[in-house]
């Protein structure tokens, strides 16, 4: 079974400064965990969380089922944990899971699991990333689809080739923290002939978008018009930009000819909600359309919990939200937000522009990297197959 056929159904919070981490009790929806099938294959993965970049390094993994985990709780069971292998194909043991308590609270509602005392065999490992006690450990539980003909076995291209369209929206941050556009070197620099950071970002991402769509919608947020701060407004004369990247750049540059005043605070809520409403309308019409919102911003939301809540609420609609960070802000919170995994579908991802500023075209590839998997997860959860279109 290919890698895309697995869905992450739970990810723990990282545990710091320990080679024998103990994770908190986790409450996981039984339907999300295994679709109510106690014999459905589950994969447990131990991850090394890299705080600076927000990425993860896989330490080891094992396969089991909910029934097997429950069986470890029986008093007569000789098994009280699971060996963790470097990979499923490898027989090299790198550690061990112990599950001191697991309880099915309600067969129709939820599963309560405690996994603790993971021991890592790293005495002979020379990888500094593994030997550093400053890197926290986390673990994933991923599940296979419910049947052999699951749509997750189909590829992203299968859906595109069978009529599915991607509806792209770009939301641009015009808050005052971006600097005065009349000042050379600011993020929205309009004083020099060279491309500013936002323009380079649009150019890099726009080239990638062109592979999937010939048009997109351009919004702005965080600017003041007629004394009123608006957190959602249209860029350009029409609601949709058609054709090349140049049309997107033209709409972006045109807003500086208006009475726009950079303002604040930085709030993503309205653009996320507008994108979700648009995506839900497509869903209700039965349209073969998946929406993608790209938020270009120099900072994090000043209502972070509301952003998290909205991403969770809108996980059921055909939508992905890609945050692109520009400037020198500390984006640790954004990395954390977009790496969180719970019982609902993960719809967000994050990429930093400065990691690609010397090769802007690679930014588009990085920004869209998580899109196929999020797209396929939506199809799997809604039992939508390419052949049904």
Question: Which tens digits make up the pLDDT trace of 360-385?
Answer: 668 888 888 889 999 999 999 898 98
Residue 130 confidence (pLDDT)? 41
**For the residues 85-90, what does the mean pLDDT come to?**
69
Q: How many CB atoms lie within 10 A of CB 49?
A: 22
Task: Output 275 or 204, whichever has higher pLDDT.
Answer: 275
Residue 7 confidence (pLDDT)? 65
Residue 322 confidence (pLDDT)? 94
pLDDT band at 143 (very low <50, low <70, confident <90, very high): low
CA distance 1 to 144: 9
What integer best gives the mean pLDDT of the chain?
77
| pLDDT for 220 beyond 90 | yes
| pLDDT for 304 beyond 50 | yes
Residue with tokens 């131990």: 46
**Helices marked H in 218-328:** 245-254, 269-285, 304-313
**For the residues 69-90, what does the mean pLDDT come to?**
65
CA distance 222 to 270: 10
CA distance 294 to 168: 8
CA triple 265-267-269, angle to 5 deg: 155
Q: What is 84-95 written as a DSSP string? A: EESSTT---EEE
Nearest to 42 by CA among 123, 113, 136: 113
pLDDT band at 293 (very low <50, low <70, confident <90, very high): very high
Residue 132 confidence (pLDDT)? 40
User: pTM of the predicted model, to two decimals?
Assistant: 0.62
| pLDDT for 191 beyond 50 | yes
| pLDDT for 157 beyond 60 | yes
| pLDDT for 138 beyond 60 | no
| Displacement of CA 28 from its chain's centroid (Å) | 19
| pLDDT for 317 beyond 50 | yes
| pLDDT for 297 beyond 90 | yes
Contact 107, 36 (CB under 8 A): yes
């Amino acid at each position: 079974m290919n890698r895309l056929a697995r869905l992450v159904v739970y990810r723990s919070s990282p545990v710091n400064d320990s080679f024998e981490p103990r994770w908190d009790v986790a409450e996981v929806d039984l339907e999300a965990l295994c679709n109510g099938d106690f014999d459905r294959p589950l994969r447990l993965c131990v991850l090394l969380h890299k705080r600076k970049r927000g990425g993860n390094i896989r330490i080891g993994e094992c396969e089991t089922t909910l029934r097997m985990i429950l069986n470890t709780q029986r008093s007569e069971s000789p098994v009280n944990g699971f060996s963790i292998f470097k990979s499923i194909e490898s027989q090299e043991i790198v550690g061990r899971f112990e599950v001191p308590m697991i309880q099915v609270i309600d067969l129709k509602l939820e599963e309560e699991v405690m996994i603790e005392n993971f021991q890592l065999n790293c005495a002979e490992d020379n990888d500094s990333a593994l030997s550093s006690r400053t890197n926290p450990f986390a673990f994933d539980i991923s599940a296979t689809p419910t049947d052999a003909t699951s749509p997750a076995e189909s590829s992203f291209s299968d859906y595109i080739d069978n009529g599915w369209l991607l509806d792209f929206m770009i939301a641009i941050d015009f808050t005052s923290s971006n600097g005065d556009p009349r000042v050379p070197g600011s993020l929205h620099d309009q004083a020099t002939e060279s491309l500013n950071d936002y323009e380079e970002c649009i150019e890099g991402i726009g080239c990638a978008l062109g592979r999937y769509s010939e048009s997109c919608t351009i919004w702005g947020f965080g600017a003041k018009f007629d004394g009123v701060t608006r957190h959602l407004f249209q860029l350009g004369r029409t609601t949709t930009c058609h054709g090349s990247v140049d049309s997107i750049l033209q709409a972006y540059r045109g807003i500086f000819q208006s009475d726009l005043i950079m303002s604040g605070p930085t709030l993503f809520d309205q653009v996320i909600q507008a994108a979700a409403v648009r995506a839900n309308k497509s869903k209700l019409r039965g349209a073969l359309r998946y929406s993608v919102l790209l938020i270009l911003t120099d900072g994090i939301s000043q209502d972070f919990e509301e952003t998290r809540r909205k991403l969770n609420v809108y996980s059921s609609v055909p939508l992905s939200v890609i945050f692109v960070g520009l400037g020198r802000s500390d984006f640790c919170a954004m990395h954390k937000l977009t790496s969180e995994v719970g019982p609902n579908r993960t719809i967000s991802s994050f990429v930093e522009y400065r990691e690609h500023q010397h090769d802007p075209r690679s930014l588009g590839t990085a920004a869209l990297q998580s899109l196929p998997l999020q797209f396929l997860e939506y199809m799997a959860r809604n039992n939508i197959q390419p052949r049904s279109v």
